[in-house]
Structure 1
């Protein structure tokens, strides 16, 4: 029997209901949130619960997930010293992990490319590979992505 990471008896608010589920090691759970003005708040609430930052009475976190944050760079850094893919990986990933080297086999960018010049999908996959190099227990946002990208 596989390790249970999250046990949820269901999450209900005025705006949504997520039915009960268990997340076991090796499983993938997809939660589809309808778009709209409430999307960002709902996503933030769920990320806080699944990463263990906030407790919810109906959710037991046995092993917290890591949220794959989108790439952000300050305006001044973007102009004067933009981050390149190689430096981003060196600063944020376990560079000895196979997932890091594999990203260059599947993507059309190199270590010398500026992260700011990558498309949003490429930035998301770069961030995802970075987090996957450290842990397999992740939560991430696929907003704006088609199934063919992942």
Structure 2
């Protein structure tokens, strides 16, 4: 019998008008939490990820291993005009990944360490974020914001391929049309 380490235990809780069901995330699993689209998605996702990562304490969450959120990369600000963010600099600032780690996603093959992040399309920006977070922990929370359907499929396939190596993930979804299967699926409901 195989023994899997528990990453996170959630007894269920509420965020504003939304009910988060109870679930457990074990090593080697991917859980899909469907938040559905709408104006509530980003504020709910922000608070939920902070709770699941332990940034906002919640008595209903027990975190046994570190978990990180792979946010979408939005280079912005006045500094970006004079000193654009490059892939190399992003990886140094946001994890312990090096440029070779990006080979996890074949869609980044045409880039170099000096490629400006602002020139990357949404798929590649998300992959950059995922690789940087996976360099810090084997447990991530991610969404598919900014990705097209083909990029979203690639992202899910790569994440699922890592599960056999002890990686774990919570996928925050805002649609209910995926044909892909997950270890567990839960729906966040409105009160």
Does the alignment reach a TM-score above 0.5? Answer: yes
Assess, with a 3 A threshold, how the Cα gap between structure 1 residues 6 and 76 changes in structure 2: closer, same or farther: same
Of 35, 43, 47, which residue of structure 2 is paired with 1:33? 35
13, 21, 34: which one pairs with 1:19?
A: 21
Q: Please give the per-residue CA displacement for 1:26-48, whole angstroms capped at 9, x wherever unaligned.
A: 21111111111211221112111
Distance 2:112 2:99 in 1: 17
From the superposition, tell whether residues 58 and 87 of structure 1 become closer, same or farther in structure 2 (CA, over 3 Å): closer
Corresponding residue for residue 120 of structure 1: 122
Contact 1:115-1:123 at 8 Å conserved across structures: yes
Shifted more, 84-93 versus 107-116: the winner is 84-93
Structure 1 residues 115, 14: CA separation in 2 closer, same or farther (over 3 Å shift)? closer
- Whether the aligned pair in 2 keeps the contact of 1:121 and 1:149 (CA below 8 Å) is no
* CA RMSD between the two structures: 2.3
> How much has 1:51 moved relative to structure 2?
0.7
Say if 1:119 and 1:95 are closer, same or farther in 2 by CA, change over 3 A: same
Structure with greater strand share of residues: 2
Secondary structure, aligned partner of 1:70: coil
Superposed displacement of residue 89, structure 1: 2.2
| 1:57 lines up with 2:59 in the alignment | yes
Within the candidate set 129, 132, 137, 2:134 is matched to 132
Q: Compared with structure 1, are the counterparts of its residues 56 and 93 closer, same or farther at alpha carbon in structure 2 (3 Å cutoff)?
A: closer
Larger RCO of the pair (alpha carbons < 8 Å, separation 6+): 2
Offset of residue 72 of structure 1: 3.5
Cα separation, 2, equivalents of 1:140 and 1:104? 15
State the SS of the aligned residue for 1:82. Answer: coil
Q: 1:42 aligns with which of 44, 47, 54?
A: 44
Encode CA deviations 1:4-38: one digit per residue, 9 max, x unaligned: 11111223345322322110112111111111121
Query: Could you tell me which residue of structure 2 aligns to residue 102 of structure 1?
Result: 103
Q: How does the TM-score come out when normalised to structure 1?
A: 0.83
Give the total of aligned pairs: 149
**Residue matched to 1:111:** 113
Match of 1:69 among 51, 68, 71: 71
